[in-house]
A and B are shown apart, each in its own frame.
Chain A
Amino acid sequence: MNEQVAESEGVQLDAAVGSVEQACQALREAFPGKVRPDEREGYEGVIVDADALVSAALLLRDELGFRYLSSVTGVDYANDGLLESVYHAYGAESGALVFKVQVDRGNPEVPSLVSVWPSANFQERESYDMYGIRYAGHPNLQRILTWEGFAGHPMRKDWREPYYEEDHKPFKTRHPDGGVFRAEDRTPFGRNVQYPPGFDPEKWEDTAQSSVYEGLMREVKEGGLQTECITINVGPQHPSTHGVLRVVVVLDGEEVVDLMPVLGYLHRNHEKIGERCTFPQIIPYTDRLDYVCSMSNGLGYVLAVEKLVGVQPPERAEYIRVIMAELTRIVNHLMAIGFLWNDVGAYFTPVIYAFNERELILDLFEMVSGSRMMCNYMRVGGVFEDLPTGWMEKAQALVFDRLPRFVDEFHRLLTENEIWRSRSMGVGILPAEQAVAMGATGPLLRASGVPYDIRRVEPYSIYDRFDFDVVVRHNADVYDRFLVRMEEMRQSLRILRQAMSQIPAGPVQTGKKNWTIKAPAGEVYHRIEAPKGELGFYLVSDGGSNPWRYHVRSTSMINLTPLAEMCRGHKVADVVVILGSIDITLGEVDR
């Protein structure tokens, strides 16, 4: 397979014209008076007036080369009476250009950027859902994580959850007079239900469901047999949706006419929980995002916090982090491929073989961190503890011997299988242009011929020290995504071999670990190449020990944006295969 994998070929994102500063300058010149630099202490980028937003975005995308919009989110500056919509755009090799729109909290309306960057679609819906910012011109501005009819916008600072105690942990009732209680005893269910004013449960009709169905395209074919489309729901408990994902599919016969993922069945408002916690207290919660890759999640988060407070972990800790992150990538790809095969119908043989190896890696995780899946291993300025005796020998036996052999064997088992090829080749095509526009990242993007890997474009931690290839394939179908993952396992092993032979001795923590730290006021966005794609953390600090805003740019959710595009025209049985090839975890989709 190696000869087919070429680096730095294929469609490139257009190189950004000049640096981020120059782009900001160009924006200011093009829209005098409407674009001004964000001068708050610790903030970056520009603030754009709402009426100039769309034209500024077009300028950014078409003239300045920022063709990829990574993240869209809201922030509630309740004390200033403002809601802010924050955007992070990237060019091929540039850093992030941050631009913001500030609107009045009472009447928050911002023009939608879906027409410029379709990747904003789900993210604007999320921001609308969480903050009530209305994105004018959005094709389908509905709630996405909560249900239509939910009262209030949960991420606003004045919204309080059931069992609310205090704004920030630690709660005062725990010590020194900790009167123990169970939350559900304290807030009886009856008093926990609130109806919006004027609401009559008797007369209520569930418009949420019909609005889901109405949003879908129903096209009657010209000529031929006149047939009627049917709408079916795949999920939310369907085994091949990999969790509680619901996909509403409109079918013409067996052919998919349109489709929409309906999210939020696993929503627990991770971000609100995060804003109640101190910075280090969030780390164990990040394990529960993408529960297959807890090490990577933790890494992304602590890197963001480290950027905010300005600490540098010691050398040894950096190496340990890379080793853990790459082991996680192997675990993830093993599972992704195994379950993709389940979706095709090769029931559980590949999964069981993959799980053998995963089991051995999880043993290693348990040895260092104390838990197989919820590792909670990364710390701000280091890692939880040094590797225990015997760990390195065990890990090296795996990395140098067993796993390379296994990947070869997995290839023998799967790659040339004719049934698999006929089910996956030419299925779920996502052209490069669209992949970039829709914000696809990770193996999904690289299988579309775009050699974009954050470990290479914007190296974090110590990834600039290792030799590895960015795996690219060009057919943009399910088969290529499978091959990209296969090859990425080999590349991860390559990084692991280098890291394991170079790792120095020394401490694993800078300074003293603490359960609470103070961060200077400001904002920070940090993204990493998680196994599933780009995982970003956006933090705003007001100078206290809790984040004012904590946002996760969820890979899995944004990678679902092109699902409809990829499925149109295919048979209904292909939907599960295409979904499997995206590789999502619902813990991260719904947060």
Chain B
Amino acid sequence: MYGLGILKGLSVTMKHFVNTYVDDIKWGFGKRYTPGVLPARQSAEARGVFTVQYPEEVLPPQERFRFVPFLVYEGTDEERQYRCTACGICAKACPPQCIWIVRAKDPETGKPLRRPAEFYVDIDICMNCGSCAEYCPFDALKMDHDFELADHDRAKHIYDLQQLGQPVEYYAKIRPTYYAAEQEAKAAKADRAAKAKAARREKK
């Protein structure tokens, strides 16, 4: 019969229509914007159509999510000790070359120091590829989760050391597994070093 195919298709549409409301009831009317409900509504178990009401609802980013790098520092906001040694690997690896680094110099001898005097990232050029964080040998530079960077003034989009810096606690918060693995590796290294020292002392 002509039109049967269309009716068959419409039954699918009907099912989705109903399921969307069933899902809504299941995950709770009114609870829409509460965190925790969103992942469930967006999961493989959800049956209806799931649309996120951005900006009221924001999907939580995955741990590996990457958007514009930041520089990790230890210590307080006033006394920032950046992990960065100004080795320049990130600037070399960056595909669109949007990282600029000025290495600090000893004011008396003029010798280069292992820290940056200035550090810039042009976030308009940055393609969020993550290469800089991937190849940084000192775990000094990581990719951020904050993607709401729109601004009226493009001149503000060249981030300097001040804007790029984030405390190590922030890093631990957004990338817990990576941070934990790093701490473990550090502890293991310190342990090995201590043992080696002890062994050397014994030999003497």
Contact = CB atoms under 8 A, between A and B. Distances in A.
B93 interface: yes
B2 interface: yes
Interface centre among A176, A284, A368, A374 (most CB of B within 10 A): A176
B42 A366 contact: no
A182 B95 contact: no
B165 to A, nearest CB: 16
A515 B66 contact: no
A173 B3 CA distance: 68
A359 B42 contact: yes
B100 A367 contact: no
A238 interface: no
A574 B135 CA distance: 50
Given A356-B49, A369-B64, A371-B65, A281 B88 contact: no
Interface string B67-92: 00000000000000000001011011
Given A412-B8, A413-B9, A416-B8, A174 B99 contact: yes
A418 interface: yes
B128 to A, nearest CB: 7
A284 B64 contact: no
A178 B99 contact: yes
A330 to B, nearest CB: 14
Contacts of A179: 100, 102
Nearest to A173: B100
Interface residues of B, dominant DSSP: mixed
A384 B129 CA distance: 11
B158 interface: yes
A513 interface: yes
A418 B6 contact: yes
A180 B118 CA distance: 10
Given A175-B103, A178-B101, A353-B16, A284 B127 contact: yes
> Which of A174, A374, A516 gathers the greatest number of chain B CB atoms within 10 Å?
A174
A277 interface: yes
Contacts of B131: 280-281, 284, 376, 515
Contacts of B191: none
B63 interface: yes
Interface string A398-423: 10011000000100111111111100
Contact of B9 (A183, A376, A401, A414): A414
Contact of B128 (A173, A177, A371, A420): A371
B64 to A, nearest CB: 4
B170 interface: no
A356 B50 contact: yes
Contacts of B9: 412-414, 416-417
Interface of B: 2-6, 8-9, 11-13, 16, 42-44, 49-50, 61-66, 86, 88-89, 91-95, 97, 99-103, 112, 118, 120, 122, 125, 127-131, 134-135, 143, 158, 177
